[in-house]
Amino acid sequence: EDLGMRHRLWVYSGRRGVHCWVCDDAVRKWSPALRAAAVEYLTLVKPLPPPPQALGQRGGGVFRGVRAGGPGRPGHPRELGQGAGPRPGGYPSRAHREPLRGEFPKKRDSVQRWDLLKGRMERTRRAGGAGRSAACYADWEIMLQYCFPRLDINVSKGVGHLLKSPFSVHPKTGRVSVPLDLQRLDQFDPFAVPTI
């Protein structure tokens, strides 16, 4: 909607993904650079710099995190349907992290740990950042990190990937790429699609 795309067809890829075929005439004529810019605009989970405590350590690794945008951007409260949104980038402060580290081992399972984290983060937001620590959105950032769709820039910007059209066969699984009915998405079974 933010990019003015009106005619969309959602298609199961035949493997792990979902393709959104944008059928607007103007969008179909976009250059690879415009396509890449659209993916960049829609990408919410991006690599972040390492947290301060990791600087100077050997080994390194990829640090990923959530960078939320402002109004009209994915991750903004309008898109999340909530009253507040995650802060742009960063890591939970020591004031939030240390108490949780002590409490997590006392919890029986991941559900209890999640409830603890959510409760603590909600309290920081209700307090409005008053007092010693600022409002924290670590719970939202975790949900977005693991639940927000990943966009494949190469599939989106390269017109050569248009060969993966609806009703084509995925070369590794043999499954047919079929359109999705968004009204009945919860009934879709990727293992029941036709195969060759």
Mention every residue, 6+ apart, whose C-beta is less than 8 A from residue 47: 62, 63, 64, 65
pLDDT tens string 42-97: 887 766 565 555 545 544 444 455 555 444 444 443 445 443 444 444 456 677 78
User: Is position 186 within any domain?
Assistant: yes
User: Which of the pair, 20 or 63, is modelled with greater confidence?
Assistant: 20
Residue 34 is part of which domain span?
Answer: 1-43+151-195
Task: Read off the pTM.
Answer: 0.60
Question: What mean pLDDT comes out for the span 2-20?
Answer: 90
> Does the residue 23 lie in any domain?
yes
Among 78-82, 106-110, 126-130, 163-167, top mean pLDDT goes to 106-110
Could you tell me which of 95, 86, 94 has the C-alpha nearest to residue 51? Answer: 94
* Same domain assignment for residues 137 and 180: no
115 has pLDDT over 60:
yes
| Whole-number pLDDT of residue 146 | 80
Does any domain span residue 76? no
Q: How many folded domains does the chain comprise?
A: 2
| pLDDT above 50 for 147 | yes
